[in-house]
Amino acid sequence: MGSIRSLSRVDIPSFVEVARNAYPGMGVNTTEDKQKLVERLEKQTESDGKNLFGAYSETTLVGGMLLHDFTMNFHSHQIELGGVGFVCVDLLHKKEKIAKELITFFEQYYRDKGTAIAALYPFRPDFYRRMGYGYGSKMNQYRFAPKELPKGPSKQNMKKLSEDKVGELHKCYSRFSLKNHGMIVRSEEDMKRLFQDPKIKIFGVWEEDECKGYCVFSFENSKSGNFISNHILMKEFVWETQEALLELCTFLHSQQDQIHQIIWNTQQEAFHFLLNDPRNGSDNLMPHVYHESNAAGVGLMYKVLDVRALFEQTTANSFGSANLNVKWCVTDTFANLTHEVSVNFHDGYAVVMEDIEPDVTVKLSIGEFSSLIIGSISFTSLFQFGLVQLSDDKYLKDLHLIFSALPKPICMTGF
């Protein structure tokens, strides 16, 4: 392959041609479709922190990607996150390792910027796992009747929101994101895009002139030929207080006359506790008498680009209470790197220290380390599955305690 370089506005139509063939499911077929995608990418790349890059064979564009400079809540810290999307390769140049070269460039681009962690949505999880990306939280899809949500005494503070309320909507999202690990910072312009799809409905809970929770959804016909039977497709659901949650649920509960099911995607592991009946209507049973409640899928994947830098950026009380000196040996075969870092864990803090005698040496791959530090898997589970090696197994309990305090990440941002 020749080179990878930043794309200018005049290169976008060529990028769209490569991308639409790489992803035929997007349905970008007509001249009008292509122009709409060109305009969308032009608008996106006018924003700070969104950059198109292309892979060239001599003067021919053979692949590309869209990079995103994000800020993420990482265990109560606001840190930089590198995101990549729209990774595409020309049909004539498949199996020429162009995608590998693009991802290599992506990772080095963010290492050079001092960004310690990257994320992507995988078109194939196994492909990116081989590149060192670790799984984040699973997405759970529940399907249930509106009556299964709790019904409170009132929904009097509910309002249908229009674009003039985008400022308060953005403030609500921002406050929620500051309290939830994994959430990506959005601009007010990002929130404004929610109002641009005419199918989308947005309702919020108003308390003392502030939005304290909101839901974003659309309708889908549930039965051909029956226009009064529909599903609600939940796109986004945010709440700051128990009172706001109950009003939102009461509002949705009241839609049962024409709503067959609510289809709700969530990374909240305990979501089924909210429902009176968590069964999804399939009547499927698993041994021994476990009722099917939801479908689940792996999606957003993370990769730590610099282990030392990530620990240095995590300065608050984020970890469990065990006190331990740990030497980390983390291998990244894709980038041909081995991260060796000594960390003193004490009273919930992690401090990188060069000249300490380790109590235990921990060896694992960068993908497993990434899932561990993001909070997607416990240390004990990694050990039980043979995905981590310890110089002395007696420290397993302490290591479990250190990482058991990390919550699983939640992310509502697609890219």
pLDDT tens digits for range 274-299:
999 999 999 999 999 999 999 999 99
Average pLDDT in the 321-347 region? 96
Residue-range domain boundaries for the chain: 3-115, 140-291, 306-404
Average pLDDT in the 390-401 region? 97
* Whether the domain at 3-115 and the domain at 306-404 fall into the same CATH topology: no
Whole-number pLDDT of residue 146: 97
Average pLDDT in the 60-82 region? 96
Q: pLDDT tens-digit profile of 233-276?
A: 999 999 999 999 999 999 999 999 989 999 999 999 999 999 99
For residue 388, what pLDDT band results from cuts at 50, 70 and 90? very high
Burial-class residue 154 by CB neighbours within 10 Å (0-12, 13-18, 19+). Answer: exposed
- Nearest-CA neighbor of 270 among 104, 74, 389, 410? 410
Q: pLDDT tens-digit profile of 177-225?
A: 999 999 999 999 999 999 999 999 999 999 888 999 999 999 999 888 7
Distances (CA, A) of 290 to 9, 133, 139, 201, 294: 55, 32, 20, 35, 12
Yes or no: domain 140-291 corresponds to CATH 3.40.50.2300? no
For the domain spanning 306-404, the CATH number is 3.30.1050.10
The whole-angstrom separation of Cα 130 and Cα 134 is 9
Average pLDDT in the 49-78 region? 95
Q: pLDDT tens-digit profile of 132-177?
A: 999 999 999 999 999 999 999 999 999 999 999 999 999 999 999 9
Whole-number pLDDT of residue 109: 97
β-sheet with 294-297: strand ranges across: 158-160, 201-207, 210-221, 230-239, 259-266, 139-144, 294-297
Phi, psi of 323 (to 5 degrees): -105, 125
Instruction: Pick 3-115's CATH classification: 3.30.365.10, 3.10.580.10, 3.30.1360.20, 3.40.630.30.
Output: 3.40.630.30
Whole-number pLDDT of residue 1: 55
Average pLDDT in the 30-52 region? 92
Q: What is the pTM of this model?
A: 0.93
In sign, the C-alpha dihedral spanning 214, 69, 40, 221 is negative
